C-alpha cells in the first residue's frame, strides 16, 4: 500500500463570481522512504498540491489516500490528528515564533499531541542536538542566522516523529552554501531514518538531492523521473 496516493485531484479557488481551477487532475503514488522534489514554474500548482498532501487544504474532487485512509472521509478533528501524526512541515520563511526560544519553538507541535512536559523537553532537546544546535537552545530566532533558524524549523518538523516531512521552498531564503547544509540534513533524515520527504523547489541544485523529481506545469504533473539523489554524497 502506498503511503501517499493522489488520484485525479482537482482544485478550484473561488475568484470573484466564478471558480478558477488550478489543479486539473494530479495523480501520484509514493511509498515510505521516498525523497521527492516538486519542481515547475511559479503558479504551476506545487504549493497547492503540497497543501493537499499535508492535509492543510482539501481537494475539490479526486481522492487522497494517506496511509490507507481516505482523507475526504475525515472530520476536522480527525484531519488535525492525522496531520499531526503523519506530517511535519518546514516553510521557506521558517515560521518560528518570535521572542520564543529555539527549545520552546520545537516543543510547540507536541502541545497538540498529548506528550507530557518532561518528555516534550527531552525530545525537543534531542531534535535540536541532531540539528547541531545543542548550544543554541535558549536563543530566540532573532539571535540565530537564517540557516540556524531553518535547522530549528526542521527540528520542529521532526519532533513528533511523523513519517513524512514536507518542505515548501525550504532553501528559498538561504544562500547556496547554507542551502547545501540544509539539504544534507534532509538527506540524512531520509537515508538514516527513512523519513519520507516531499519538498518544493525551483532550484535544480536543491532538487538534485532528491531521488524522484516531479515537474509541474499549468496544474498538472508533466514528468515524474527517478534521480540518483547523490549530490550530497558526492560532495562529502
| Binding-site ranges for ligand ADP (CB under 6 A) | 13, 22, 40, 42-48, 216
Q: Which does 112 bind (CB under 5 to 8 A by kind): Mg ion, ligand ADP, none?
A: none
Residue 21: CB minimum distance to Mg ion, A: 17
Nearer to Mg ion, 46 or 83 (CB): 46
Nearer to Mg ion, 32 or 202 (CB): 202
Show Cβ contacts of residue 67 under 8 Å, excluding neighbours closer than 6 positions. 3, 82, 86, 163
Residue 178 host element (H or E): helix 176-193
Nearer to ligand ADP, 22 or 214 (CB): 22
Residue 92: CB minimum distance to ligand ADP, A: 11
Show Cβ contacts of residue 22 under 8 Å, excluding neighbours closer than 6 positions. 11, 12, 13, 45, 48, 219
3 state SS of 97: coil
Residue 90: CB minimum distance to ligand ADP, A: 15
Nearer to ligand ADP, 47 or 105 (CB): 47
Residue 44: CB minimum distance to ligand ADP, A: 4
Residues 210, 195: Cα–Cα separation, whole Å:
13
Closest by Cα among 152, 146, 153, 151 to 176: 146
Contact between 147 and 172 under an 8 Å Cβ cutoff? The reply is no
Residue 56: CB minimum distance to Mg ion, A: 13
Residue 218: CB minimum distance to ligand ADP, A: 9
Q: Which chain residues interact with Mg ion by CB under 5 A?
A: 47
Closest by Cα among 191, 26, 3, 153 to 86: 3
Contact between 27 and 47 under an 8 Å Cβ cutoff? The reply is no
Q: Which does 22 bind (CB under 5 to 8 A by kind): Mg ion, ligand ADP, none?
A: ligand ADP
Name 69's bridge partners: 66
Residues 39, 223: Cα–Cα separation, whole Å:
10
> What is the number of the residue whose Cβ is closest to Mg ion?
47
Q: Which does 48 bind (CB under 5 to 8 A by kind): ligand ADP, Mg ion, none?
A: ligand ADP
Nearer to ligand ADP, 48 or 196 (CB): 48
Q: Which does 43 bind (CB under 5 to 8 A by kind): Mg ion, ligand ADP, none?
A: ligand ADP
Contact between 221 and 36 under an 8 Å Cβ cutoff? The reply is no
Q: Which does 201 bind (CB under 5 to 8 A by kind): ligand ADP, Mg ion, none?
A: none
Residues 53, 66: Cα–Cα separation, whole Å:
8
Amino acid at each position: 500500500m502506498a503511503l501517499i496516493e493522489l488520484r485525479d485531484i482537482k482544485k478550484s479557488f473561488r475568484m470573484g463570481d466564478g471558480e478558477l481551477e488550478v489543479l486539473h487532475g494530479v495523480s501520484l503514488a509514493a511509498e515510505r522512504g521516498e525523497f521527492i522534489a516538486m519542481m515547475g514554474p511559479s503558479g504551476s500548482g506545487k504549493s497547492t498540491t503540497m497543501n493537499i498532501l499535508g492535509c492543510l487544504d482539501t481537494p475539490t474532487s479526486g481522492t487522497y489516500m494517506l496511509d490507507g485512509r481516505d482523507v475526504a472521509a475525515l472530520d476536522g478533528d480527525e484531519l488535525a490528528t492525522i496531520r499531526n501524526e503523519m506530517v511535519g512541515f518546514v516553510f521557506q520563511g521558517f515560521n518560528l515564533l518570535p521572542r520564543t526560544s529555539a527549545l520552546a519553538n520545537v516543543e510547540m507541535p507536541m502541545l497538540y499531541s498529548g506528550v507530557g512536559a518532561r518528555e516534550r523537553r527531552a525530545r525537543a532537546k534531542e531534535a535540536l542536538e541532531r540539528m547541531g544546535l545543542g548550544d543554541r537552545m535558549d536563543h530566540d530566532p532573532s539571535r540565530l542566522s537564517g540557516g540556524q533558524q531553518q535547522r530549528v524549523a526542521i527540528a520542529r518538523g521532526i519532533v513528533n516523529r511523523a513519517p513524512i516531512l514536507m518542505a515548501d521552498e525550504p532553501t528559498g531564503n538561504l544562500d547556496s552554501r547554507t542551502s547545501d547544509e540544509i539539504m544534507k540534513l534532509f538527506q540524512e533524515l531520509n537515508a538514516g531514518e527513512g523519513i519520507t520527504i516531499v519538498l518544493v523547489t525551483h532550484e535544480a541544485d536543491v532538487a538534485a538531492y532528491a531521488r524522484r523529481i516531479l515537474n509541474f506545469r499549468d496544474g498538472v504533473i508533466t514528468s515524474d523521473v527517478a534521480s540518483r539523489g547523490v549530490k550530497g554524497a558526492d560532495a562529502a
